[in-house]
Amino acid sequence: MLAAFLLCTQGTARAQDVGACPRLPANTGLTWEHRASGDADFCRALRSDGSEAFGVYISPKPTFEPARADREERGQIDGQQVYWYRAEIAAKPGVQARETLLALPDGRAAHVWLQAASREQLDAGFQLAGALHFGPGSDKQVASGQ
């Protein structure tokens, strides 16, 4: 599912309004690429070289159904305990991919994913995603570059 979702959103243009995306951790150099679709928001945190650090899809109903058999790590995002689940990306067999789902204070769901070439990069991605802030004040983008 993650691979299909990522392929469908490859051609998005950088939007000026990233207020629907969560607040990024300070001093990371990351910027948001945002695309709204109806009542959902697709946000990609991009590094200065244009590569994706992680992504977030925020919608009224969850778009990801975690399978207990794919559970890999425990973590935390915006103070909320989460489990990260292993994902398979057919086009990138050597890449380690994880995704999780969390309930937001306003009743919506956030599907968060990341991809990494190594365990070190995966751990760095967990740290970045863990420092996201959803909720009031999320429209004040830290280091958004927008």
The CATH number of residue 76's host domain is: 3.40.1000
Give Cβ neighbours of residue 53 (< 8 Å, ≥ 6 apart).
Answer: 28, 30, 45, 46, 47, 114, 125, 128
pLDDT digits (tens, 9 = 90+) for 13-37: 333 346 789 999 888 889 999 999 9
pLDDT score, position 6: 41
Q: How far is CA 5 from CA 30, 42, 132, 141, in A?
A: 21, 10, 21, 25
Please check whether residue 14 lies inside any domain of the structure.
no
Q: What is the DSSP string of 29-42?
A: --EEEEEEETTEEE
Please check whether residue 93 lies inside any domain of the structure.
yes
Answer whether 0.85 is exceeded by the pTM.
no
Please check whether residue 21 lies inside any domain of the structure.
no
For the chain, how many structural domains are there in total? 1
pLDDT at 80 over 60: yes
Bridge-based pairing state of the strands 52-59 and 109-116: antiparallel
Domain that holds residue 84: 2-9+29-130
Average pLDDT in the chain: 82
Please check whether residue 20 lies inside any domain of the structure.
no
